[in-house]
């Protein structure tokens, strides 16, 4: 049975959340609309028309939530700042929004919980979207101004920062598949948005070096283990290519200053423009990569698909998201990232959506305990294989707004009864509490 003491002494365990998914108070204290406010209020975009208007009401309940983190014994807490709460129009400061994050950080520190702050977790101020959003090259400078302001405001107390959460999702789910805000469906736009997201990241890192001398800054990507879905040789080739589109596309420019050539070639062949501006800014050195790992993705050669592949379902047990439970993929990707980029790593998200049922005031989510144990074991295996893994944040602290799935998917180790906003520690939280003492 894995124990906390098996991990390095300074290894940190935490949980992660994001502003739009938990805060609520969407129109309170001067907060402006984000692209997710508009998207979730657009009929048909989210399950049951769910929105983040109230969510977990964390904006008002943060003290209670921090007490729960303390009760569980967490070392750290990863959360994101709502850009439209800080700059409702994308430029001018909303002091009440700033005050909230000062209160939140001070309350965490008072309870010996280390804050890890994500600057952007998908909630772009709508006012900036109206100026072109991630398609407008100027967005990188708007982001730099926002980042600089936050570094100045919190940098004396917050020493671990993540510029962007999963630019792959922001660009390819937001601009290609359209399942996320702003709901565009244009591959060229997705490539352009991805590039401007990376430029924004690079500008923020440059600002960070000027503003927070004793801090660490990194980028969090979703990291998927891409495997062939059948035994055909072409499917092995396609798996390698998709890995370049999804994983290397958002890691290589940040370390090597260039996109993976095979993927560029395929895009160019399809008549798409792949930008190459500001690679010197994009590759401003970072201190770590954040790794959001959930599952593997199976692909097969498919001539009928414009990019030559299609996704297939695997036959391993799956979570409520339909994602296969595949701990080995975590080990594989941690080792892959270490060998290719030679940077320290944090698992900034790992967890599962489960069929969580409240029974006599308890949630017996043994499946989530097993999921976490197996992924903890693979993380430890990676450390023992030489990976400089420094921490592990469980997604998520509590059930929350799961984007287009609304409130139908529960990822929390704490159950939220949305009718009463009551929080209930699931068995996984009780297990974690004991694990952290082991
Ligand atoms: N096929 N397939 N599968 C895996 C693709 C995963 C892409 N989605 C994520 O990583 C999001 C990340 C986000 O940060 C958080 O805000 C979300 O709540 C979690 C849970 O959804 C994850």
Residue 210 CB: number of other CB atoms within 10 A? 9
DSSP state of 405: G
What is the average per-residue pLDDT within 284-294? 99
Tell me: the pLDDT tens digits for 6-48?
999 999 999 999 999 999 999 999 999 999 999 999 999 999 9
Which of 22, 123, 294 should be mutated for ligand 1, with most atoms under 8 A from CB?
A: 294
Handedness of CA 39, 172, 201, 113 (dihedral sign): positive
**What's the rounded Cα separation, in Å, for the pair 175 and 164?**
16
User: Could you report the per-residue pLDDT of 363-374, keeping only the tens digit for each?
Assistant: 999 999 999 999
pLDDT for the residue numbered 307: 83
Q: 390 in a domain, yes or no? A: yes
Whether 295 is in the pocket of ligand 1, judged by its Cβ within 6 Å, is yes
Q: Averaged over 246-252, what is the pLDDT? A: 98
CATH number of the domain enclosing 69:
3.20.20.80
212-238 confidence digits (pLDDT tens)? 999 999 999 999 999 999 999 999 999
Residue 191: is its pLDDT beyond 90? yes
Report if residue 240 sits inside a domain.
no
Percent of the chain scoring above 70 in pLDDT: 100
- Ligand 1 pocket residue status of 80, Cβ below 6 Å: no
Rounded to the nearest integer, the mean pLDDT of the chain is 98
Tally of domains in the chain: 1
List pLDDT tens digits, range 378-431. Answer: 999 999 999 999 999 999 999 999 999 999 999 999 999 999 999 999 999 999
Question: pLDDT at residue 306 above 90?
Answer: no
Residue 252 lies in a domain: no
For ligand 1, say whether the CB of 402 is within 6 Å of any of its atoms: yes
Q: Which of 166, 189, 227, 324 is catalytic?
A: 166
Average of per-residue pLDDT across 352-367: 98
Say whether pLDDT at 251 is over 90: yes
Task: Tell me what the mean pLDDT of segment 144-166 comes to.
Answer: 98
In a domain, 46, yes or no: yes
What's the pLDDT score for residue 123? Answer: 98
Strand-pairing partners, residue 291, are 221, 347
Which residues carry a binding-site annotation? 21, 121, 165, 294, 395, 402-403
The three-state secondary structure class of 138 is coil
Mutate to test the pocket of ligand 1, among 169, 353, 393 (most ligand atoms within 8 A of CB): 169
Average confidence (pLDDT) over 241-255: 97
Query: Is 166 among the residues known to form the active site?
Result: yes
Whole-model pTM above 0.95?
A: yes
Could you tell me if residue 257 is inside a domain?
no
Residues 6+ apart with CB under 8 A from 170: 120, 122, 134, 164, 180, 193, 197
Residue located via tokens 């990019």: 307
State in Å: Cα 177 to ligand 1 middle.
Answer: 14
Q: Residue 290 forms beta bridges with which residues? A: 220, 346
Q: What are the backbone dihedrals phi and psi of residue 139, each rounded to the nearest 5 degrees, phi first?
A: -55, -30
Q: Which residues contact 384 (CB under 8 A, 6 or more apart)?
A: none
Binned at pLDDT 50, 70 and 90, residue 76 comes out as very high
Nearest CA among 204, 349, 248 for reference residue 290: 349
The annotation places the binding site for substrate at 21, 121, 165, 294, 395, 402-403
| ipTM of predicted assembly, 2 dp | 0.96
d(CA 87, CA 124): 10
Q: Is 304 inside a domain boundary?
A: no
CA–CA distance, 134 with 186 (Å, rounded to integer): 13
Query: Where in the sequence is the domain holding 38, given as residue range(s)?
Result: 4-222+276-295+314-437
- For residues 128-152, average pLDDT: 98
150 found inside a domain = yes
Residue 347 Cα to ligand 1 midpoint, Å, equals 13
**What pLDDT score was predicted for residue 228?**
98
In a domain, 241, yes or no: no
């Amino acid at each position: 049975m894995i124990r906390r003491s098996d991990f390095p002494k300074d290894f940190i365990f935490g949980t992660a959340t994001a502003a739009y998914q938990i805060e609520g108070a969407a129109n309170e204290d001067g907060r402006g609309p984000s692209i997710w406010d508009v998207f979730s209020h657009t009929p048909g975009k989210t399950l049951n028309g769910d929105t983040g208007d109230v969510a977990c009401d964390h904006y008002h309940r943060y003290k209670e939530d921090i007490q729960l983190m303390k009760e569980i014994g967490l070392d750290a807490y990863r959360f994101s700042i709502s850009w439209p709460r800080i700059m409702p129009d994308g430029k001018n400061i909303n002091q009440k929004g700033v005050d909230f994050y000062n209160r939140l950080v001070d309350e965490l520190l008072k309870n010996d919980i280390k804050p890890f702050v994500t600057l952007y977790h998908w909630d772009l101020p709508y006012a900036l979207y109206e100026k072109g959003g991630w398609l407008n090259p100027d967005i990188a400078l708007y982001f730099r101004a926002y980042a600089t302001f936050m570094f100045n405001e919190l940098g004396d107390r917050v020493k671990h920062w993540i510029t962007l959460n999963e630019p792959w999702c922001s660009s390819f789910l937001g601009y290609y598949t359209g399942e996320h805000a702003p709901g565009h469906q244009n591959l060229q736009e997705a490539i352009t948005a991805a590039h401007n997201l990376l430029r924004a990241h690079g500008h923020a890192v440059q600002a960070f070096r000027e503003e927070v001398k004793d801090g660490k800054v990194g980028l969090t990507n979703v990291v998927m283990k891409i495997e062939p879905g059948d035994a055909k040789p072409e499917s092995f080739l396609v798996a390698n290519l998709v890995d370049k589109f999804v994983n290397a596309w958002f890691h290589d420019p940040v370390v090597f200053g260039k996109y993976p050539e095979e993927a560029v070639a395929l895009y160019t062949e399809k008549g798409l423009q792949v930008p190459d501006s500001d690679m010197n800014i994009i590759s401003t050195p970072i201190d770590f990569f954040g790794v959001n790992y959930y599952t593997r993705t199976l692909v097969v050669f498919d001539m009928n698909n414009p990019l030559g592949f299609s996704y297939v379902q695997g036959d391993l047990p799956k979570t409520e998201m339909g994602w296969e439970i595949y701990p080995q993929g975590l080990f594989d990707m941690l080792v892959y990232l270490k060998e290719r980029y030679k940077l320290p790593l944090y698992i900034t998200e790992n967890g599962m959506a489960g069929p969580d049922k409240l029974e006599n005031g308890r949630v017996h989510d043994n499946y989530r305990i097993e999921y976490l144990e197996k992924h903890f074991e693979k993380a430890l295996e990676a450390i023992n294989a030489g990976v400089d893994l420094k921490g592990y944040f469980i997604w998520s602290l509590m059930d929350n707004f799961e984007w287009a799935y609304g409130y139908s998917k529960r990822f929390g180790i704490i159950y939220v009864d949305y009718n009463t906003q009551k929080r209930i520690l699931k068995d996984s939280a009780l297990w974690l509490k004991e694990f952290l003492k082991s």
